[in-house]
Structure 1
Amino acid sequence: MARLAVLWRRPSLAFGLAVIALVVLAALLAPLLAPYAPDNQMFDGLSLEGSPLPPSAQFPLGTDTLGRDLLSRLLFGARTSLVIGLVANGTAVLIGLVVGILAGYFSGLVGNLLMRFTDLMMAFPALLLAIVLAALLRPSLWIVALVIALVNWVQVARIAYTETRGLVERDFILAERALGAGHGRILLRHIAPHLVPTAIVWGTLGIATTVLLEATLSFLGIGVQPPQPSWGNIIFESQSYFQSAPWLVFFPGALILLTALAFNLVGDALRDLLDPTQRGRG
């Protein structure tokens, strides 16, 4: 409890939690907060020359190249980014834990095959692999989440493997085996619970990476496809207007930066709290 109180007094943790709470609330309440529909192309949303409008009382964050309200699109885009961040990263953590635990527990051929496959996946640059997979598949919200999960599980698998190898030689595991416990009982009752802190920390830290990767794929045009808004494809659609309408790039870019920073700050705090090497100090 003392350590938890110390963490709550951290300004960085408070800032991260506040930003995450605001983003989540904005995503959940987007239909109520958005002044317009995200795909509503308004005739008064463009200047007489056909250019996007800057921020004003009618359009607080301006309009985009098609006369759509940027604030509305950012609010609904938060839903896309968060769904992909949570689903893709949750799937990646689950895959990584399963592969790492099985490879660490079953030594020999099974463990070697799983870890060599993990090494093979780590050899490919994550962004390049994601681009290839996204190009081969039809981009959509769930396909992008699947692609990101398939390239982000390897780090979790490595850590889970290392921790599992240390656990299988512990006395309580050897005692369970001596008592005749099966593999399923040992894995589910004694090994998996010890990896929960690792899953929580990596689950939090990985969301930031996932949000950035989704934004990168959408910026390259192979992520979530318009008219469904995401922060990445909003920048992609507006990149040619960077000088004449900088708000179209600045606002979504700032949201991506703040969200990634917030999840990293919370993840670092959770790592300090759950790190077993820190317990009993202070």
Structure 2
Amino acid sequence: MPTMVAETARSKENRTPGVWTRLLHRPLALIGLAVIIVVVGAAALAPWVVPYDPHEQFFEGLTIEGAPLPPNSQFWLGTDLVGRDLLSRLIYGARTSLVIGVVANGIAVVIGSLVGIAAGYFRGWVDTVLMRFTDLMMAFPALLLAIVLAAIFTPSLWIVAMVIAMVNWVQIARVVYTETRSIAERDFVTAERAMGAGAGRILFRHILPHLLSTIIVWATLGIATTVLLEATLSFLGIGVQPPIPSWGNIIFENQTYFTSAPWLVFIPGAAILALALAFNLVGDALRDVLDPTQQGRH
């Protein structure tokens, strides 16, 4: 028995570097991972890396006509319509977008996974109730439902995160439900039931491990969707409210200067696009690496 335990431990240790090795051999995944590390690092170190207070208004940050300054040696990304440093607000805005992305998507993944596993395994009335409720939620356009919920509650950082989580869990619930039904019908699950194994053992020892790759991939890809949805809500004025900076409300505040100062819209828009694309690249690579059917194909 000790020998078997030792061999199992060694096999786990050997598998872990293999996953990272396959992931690190994908150039696009490395690019996405580098972007994520840079954004997360800048957001975490924001108080120490920003050149100015993101709320400070500079008289020299506006032209004589009162227009924002373009990128220059003092303000690297220029200033906004009230003379605030755009780079400082962009870095602090990354904090807001990442917090909402991680928190909202984490809640959505947990809710969706629990609903999908319960409905897919227990079937019967549990399946009917949970999946019909999921279908009802999917019948509403996600953005429209988020707008309605955000308008009902007083917008704040955590309210926006909860609103996004409430509209984003349905997709992963559907995916997990379908996979759980498929796994629950396999021979090894049937054999476990015949041997008297309880639902808890089957779910945690046999079904959940097969779902982990799907859940991890959806958790990664979902952050990109969440960041985009937060930016959309903030752009519409019902997301995170000023003076708290977020990439969406930076665009919202400066949209009137789109033609005369396009960097005020283009730069935060490019940041949103880059972060969403980075999470998509990493999520796609994780799907290939963690899916056992893909191993050996690359």
Change in CA separation of 1:241 and 1:281 when aligned onto 2, cut-off 3 Å = closer
Residue of structure 1 aligned with 2:62, choices 46, 54, 73: 46
Aligned mates of 2:136, 2:263 — CA distance in 1: 42
Aligned mates of 1:14, 1:281 — CA distance in 2: 19
Aligned to 1:188: 204
One-letter identity of the residue aligned with 2:181: R
CA RMSD of aligned residues (A): 1.6
Gaps spanning 5+ residues in structure 2: where? Answer: 1-16
Deviations 1:100-149 (A, max 9, x none): 00000111111111111111111111111111111111111111111111
Counterpart of 1:153 in 2: which secondary structure?
helix
Q: Is the 8 A contact 2:19 2:290 kept in 1?
A: no
Deviations 1:174-224 (A, max 9, x none): 333334333233323332222111111001111111111110000000000
Aligned to 2:242: 226
Aligned mates of 1:86, 1:37 — CA distance in 2: 25
1:251 paired to 2:232? no
Aligned to 1:116: 132
Aligned mates of 1:13, 1:213 — CA distance in 2: 23
TM-score (norm 2): 0.90
Aligned to 1:153: 169
One-letter identity of the residue aligned with 2:82: L
Aligned to 1:268: 284
Aligned to 1:208: 224
Aligned mates of 1:17, 1:280 — CA distance in 2: 22
Aligned to 2:9: none
Give aligned pairs, total: 282
User: What is the CA distance between 1:169 and its match in structure 2?
Assistant: 2.1
Aligned mates of 2:72, 2:131 — CA distance in 1: 56
Counterpart of 2:288 in 1: which secondary structure?
helix
1:175 paired to 2:191? yes
Aligned to 1:236: 252
One-letter identity of the residue aligned with 1:11: P
Aligned pairs for 1:119-130 (under 5 A) are: 119-130=135-146
1:82 paired to 2:98? yes
Residue of structure 2 aligned with 1:65, choices 67, 81, 88: 81
Residue of structure 1 aligned with 2:156, choices 133, 137, 140: 140
Deviates more, 1:56-65 or 1:96-105: 56-65
1:15 paired to 2:31? yes
Deviations 1:74-107 (A, max 9, x none): 0000000011111111111111100000000111
Counterpart of 2:287 in 1: which secondary structure?
helix
User: What is the CA distance between 1:281 and its match in structure 2?
Assistant: 4.2
Deviates more, 1:162-171 or 1:219-228: 162-171
Aligned mates of 1:190, 1:11 — CA distance in 2: 33
Deviations 1:201-249 (A, max 9, x none): 0011111111111100000000000000000000000000101111111
Q: Is the 8 A contact 2:33 2:278 kept in 1?
A: yes
